[in-house]
Each structure stands twice: as structure tokens, then as C-alpha cells.
Chains A and B, each alone.
Chain A
Amino acid sequence: MEASSASSSSSSVTFYDFLDRMRNPASLDLVRSIKSFIVSFSFYAANPDNDAKKVQEFFTTMEDTIRDHPIWAGATDEEVDSAMEGLEKYVMTKLFYRTFASSPGDIKLDLEISEKIQLLQTFLKPEHLDIPSVLRNDASWLLAEKELQKISAFKAPREKLLCIINCCKVINNLLLNAAMSENHVLAGADDFLPVLIYVTIKANPPQLHSNLKFIQLYRRQAKLVSEAAFYFTNLVSAKTFIVDLNAKSLSIDEIEFEESMQAARETNKLIPEEFFTTQEVMTTSQGQIDPGASARVHHKETNAGGSNYPYMEAEAGDLTVRDVERLLSLYKDVVTKYTTLCKAVKSFPPTKTESSLPHLEGSSILSTKPEENTENTRE
């Protein structure tokens, strides 16, 4: 029905069109407004509620300005809307580091949610949420998970929101197929929400809380309505369910739940040592006749004073598939910690009067390419 409402053609085309128009000398006044708006943020400390209010007001003002602007003369509502999408993306990409996961509280919540999901992943089954077996479809679920996991690959609120919508559409299709082929009587939200919750747990989407908060605050308000708002709300709902989840939230024996959580916690704690020991075992079991590699790894490990960087001197050729899995999870861990650190460092007042927004010199404001214009063919 409203499937198309959130997907206005190809987003990158729209965005380049926006940038093109901005390069037009006739839009110098617009460029100035945008520039000074973005600069105005560097004078104040980040404050999510205030920032969001300012951004939303700016969007509203700019929409009127664009509508009345000579270079958009005679533009249809759709064209103005495209311009606004471009503006949202541009502004929010520029303000991203200030506005996304900007408080220690957000970062903490993200980590807590992600850790809780990690524990749940070790034992949670569809039946714990009473998901009927006709709705269990690993392929569709995987697809939905993938959509959700993409959420941090984008900076623009619209594109993040699209990841959620796409995920939900995959689930809807799955429900529909079950209805057609299995004669499952569809139960609306009674079917949809449990599957979304399960998919969310399987996906453990990065920075779930911060992504939701960012969309809520910075997606143009006129666009977070209707079906988009419905799916968004459902993911907020899934997140809330997960945060509050205890044995009583599930169809599971209370003792079994506690034991499973405890076991998962202990396994998680063990991971660091396990990294090292299994790495060694794997190397030998693979018949690698290079004891040196193993020894080097060991050496490095001791050098690092007990911290866990077992791969520092490993060669690409030594890695097994399981090593790659571990590396990936270590990588994510490092990135999270690094981002947290950067944030912390940034929140100190700058000592030198260097520009924290290097792209603001002259008209180069619009010459920077959008960071994440990956040609994802988003519908």
C-alpha cells in the first residue's frame, strides 16, 4: 500500500542533485544559511534535546525558504521534498559526530543492550516468544537481520530509518508467504512483533539505542509519520522489550532462564583466554608447520602485559575462518572503545583555536563528497 512512501527514488541521485543546485551561484544565500547554521553549533556544548529542536526548526524554515527560492521556482512538492532530503542528509552528516551517541549515557546504554543481546543469543529460541513454526524461516530472518545491521553504515537519518523499514518489510513478506503457502492465519501485530524482536536479537544491530534516538530526534518530523513511524515504533518497542526482558517476558522456565544467562555471562568472561588457547590449538590442528607463528603470537601476548591482542603478528595466511570471526568481534570491540575514547577526548575544550570543522573554509563547504554514498540500491 504505502510501500513507496519512504523511498523516493534513488537517494544518491537526489543528493547529488541537491549538491548541484547548491553549487549554483544563485543559491549562495542558501549555502550561507546552511553554513552558518552548522557553524553555530560549534559555539555550544552538545545537548541532544536542544540540538534536535534547533535542527528541526532549521529544516522547517529552510523548507519555506527553498519553496520560495528562485532556483526552485515552479518546483513540485516532490522536488522540494527531495531538496529537503538532501538538506537533511547534508546537515546531519556534518553534525553527525556531535549528535550521534553523543552522551556517555547513550554509549553506556548501547553497550548494555548489545551485551544483553549477546547473552540472549546464546540460548533464545523462537518458541520462547511463541513464534509459530510456520513463521520460522531462517533465510528471511537472515535477510531481515542484514537490513537491520546496516543501520550504522549510514549517517543520514532517512537512510537509517530505511534500514528499519526494509527489515520490517522483509518480515511482512515472510508473514504473507506463510499465509499463502502454509495457510497460516495471519494475526497482525501478534505475529509481527515477536518476529521483529527475535530478528533484532539475532541481528544485535550496532548502537541500537543511539540509532533509534538519532532517527527520532533528527529525521524530519514531517517524515516520521504513517507507516514509517509505525515500523520505527515497533523497533523502539522491540528494544524496550529487550531492555526490560526477564524470565517472565518469555515462555521459559525461570530457573532455566537464569542459568542460561549466567552460563552466557561466564562464557563471555572466558572469551579472552579462549581466544588465545584455541588460536594455538587451531594452528596446530591445521598442521601448520610454523611453530614460529604460534611462538610469536605467544610472545606478543606476554609483551602486551596480559591484554588480548593475539593476532598482532599473525600473517593473513595463518588465519582460519574461525580466526576471522574472532577478529571481527575484536575489531568491533576496538572500534567501540576507540569511538568512546574519541568522544571523551573531543568533549574537552580545544586548547588551540583550530577549526573543528575544516570544511567550512570558503565555498568548499559543499565540495566534500558525502561520506557514505555507497551505491546501496535501496528501494
Chain B
Amino acid sequence: MAAAAPGDLALIAKRWKDKRGSLIMALHDLQGRFGYVPRDAAQELGKQLNVPLARIYEVITFYNYFKLEAPGKNIISVCMGTACYLKGAPEIVAKLSEKLGVKAGETTPDKQFHLQQVRCIGCCGLAPVVTVNEKVLAKVKAADVVDQVYACAKGA
């Protein structure tokens, strides 16, 4: 992952500095830029926003959405909302887990894939749902999921 680009950080800080309570919004921007919240970038952002690093970490660790480590090139999210759960999401996770050799929440050693479970993404009518990066796969079957995921992955 690229090192913190000072220009980006300055822009993010400028956007949120004068808005009250905007730390979470600034962190969203930061994660949008890096794919996770790198420690050095968080520190620099804290300096520019006048927020101690401890407070930033207090927030990042509370909210599931923020990632502390680089998640890998391709993020595979399996929806574990109720609708998807009832329609076979656990089997889909098991299948991917077996193929990639990682548990949900982990990144493959070659950093190509990050497998995670997410809460409902709001497409329950199409359950079970898996997303690969931005792409949403609908009505996924455990038997096909590995092929489908590889087809959408970048550069693997």
C-alpha cells in the first residue's frame, strides 16, 4: 500500500477541520483513499485535526467498518444477514474458506484476497449475496462461488 500522501491528508483535513464532530467522516475519507486506516496516516490526520491518536484509535476500534490493516487486493464479502443466512451463506463462506485457505476476517498470504462476512447489504431479495470489490453477485450457489469470485477478481 502506498505511503501516506501528504497532499491527500491535507485535503481531507481541510474538508472536515471546521465541522464539529467530523472525525468519523474524516476517517471514512481516509479509508476511502487507502483501503484501510494506516497508522502513520491516522497520526498525521490527528495532528491536522487536533485530535490525539488515542482518541482516533478509540473510534476506529469501536466501528467495524474501519480496517486497521491493508485488506489485500480483492475484498470478498459474504453477506451474513438473515435472508442470506437462511439461503445458504454459511456454506458459501465454508467453500471460499476452504479454497482460499483463510478464515473469514483474514487475508491470503499472497495478499490477493481478503475474505470477510458482512451484515445485510440491502439486496435481500437476491439472497444469498456476495460482493467482490464493488461488484455484487446475486443468488450465489456454493458450488459456483469460487469460479464467480475468480472471474471478478483483479490481477489474481
- Bound pair: A and B? no
